Structure 1
Amino acid sequence: MSAPNVVVLDYGSGNLRSAVRAFERAGAEVTLTADFEAGLEADGLVVPGVGAYAACMQGLRAVGGERLIGRRLAGGRPVIGICVGMQILFETGIEHGVTTDGCGEWPGTVERIEADVVPHMGWNTVDAATGSTLFDGVEEERFYFVHSYGVRRWELDEPNPAMPARVTWTSYGGDRFVAAVENGPLSATQFHPEKSGDAGAALLRNWVTSLS
């Protein structure tokens, strides 16, 4: 059986080369590109992201990334977002008093973490969702975070109680926020699996394996 084909979306944001290498090690055949058709046809699409929410959305829109994500999800085709690549999947981001529209695939707001020391930078455990595919076998492991903003409330009304979204949480400095989401073909992590050692590698293998 051939390796799943994965596109890492190149829209000017994210640790692109490290993401490519991480997904290759996870067993995928990886292409780094901004090409819309390649992204549409791939078995899986990776949406990375580092930096400001507004800048990431600007870059994403410049390559048609918002439409690409929507088209893939409409066809039930897998997408995974990483760090700010997760945040932009939500409805709105608020940074430094500036409100920016996101992709709107999930309702909710990305806002500053309420902790004494920000950014949240370093290794942290998670409260993995029951039945998670991503965290299968690594539920008790630690993952590497580096961010100042997050989603502190999950606001999706579940249309199908038999297939609920699986939301994984973490806590830092007394605040609690979303660490990962698995919702049908759309998955995302606030932390960086490509920087999370063996645990992150196992999580990426779980996602790549699910593409087969």
Structure 2
Amino acid sequence: MGSVTDVAVKKLPCLPEGTFAQKKPTVVFVLGGPGSGKGTQCAKIVQHFGFAHISTGDLLRDESRSGSETGNMIESIMKEGKMVPAEVTIKLLQKAMQESGNDKLLIDGFPRNEENRAAYEAVIKIEPKLVLFLDCSEEEMERRLLNRNQGRLDDNIETMRKRFKVFKESTLPVIEYYNSKGKVRKIDAGKPAEEVFEDIKTIFTSISQVKHCFCVIL
């Protein structure tokens, strides 16, 4: 019997030939723990460098509020601070990428685990140009999450700490995988937001000068 990842991937159709994957988009993954500032920094990158911002967390939260059967399942999983199954996340991500109308995409909060990564590579097949890792201490992330008070269902202390644990156990191995391929650009995200963005600007200025910076996984 195949692994959970194998089963998830088999359920998903690959992007059709001649469509989005062949338009040679530049894809950047943005990873960091909950409260590391991914949304804040992505907004600045969009403004300065013309990327479209796709937050998988927002996609999942929007679906969870839809009242659909899938949305109810997502809400239950998020309350536990756990990972949503890859087939659900990939389906939402695939649709958002195709509808973005942009050939430069920031994919925020993805891939969160090895299952996500394997499903993305099998289905969407667009290798990221780089992985931006916003590195921040757990203490600082917790302080930020408690202060932002956005009424999100996943922003209470108990769930927060579950999310930190999941990040360390599931997402850090993904970062290590991409680091082994020379893709990771690590930023000290514990600094004030403007200082963090100054570091990010250096990275994005260099990649924006490179034409056709993508690779399709065959």
TM-score (norm 2): 0.32
Point out which structure has higher relative CO (alpha carbons under 8 A, 6+ apart).
Answer: 2
Larger Rg: 2
Q: Which structure has greater helix proportion?
A: 2
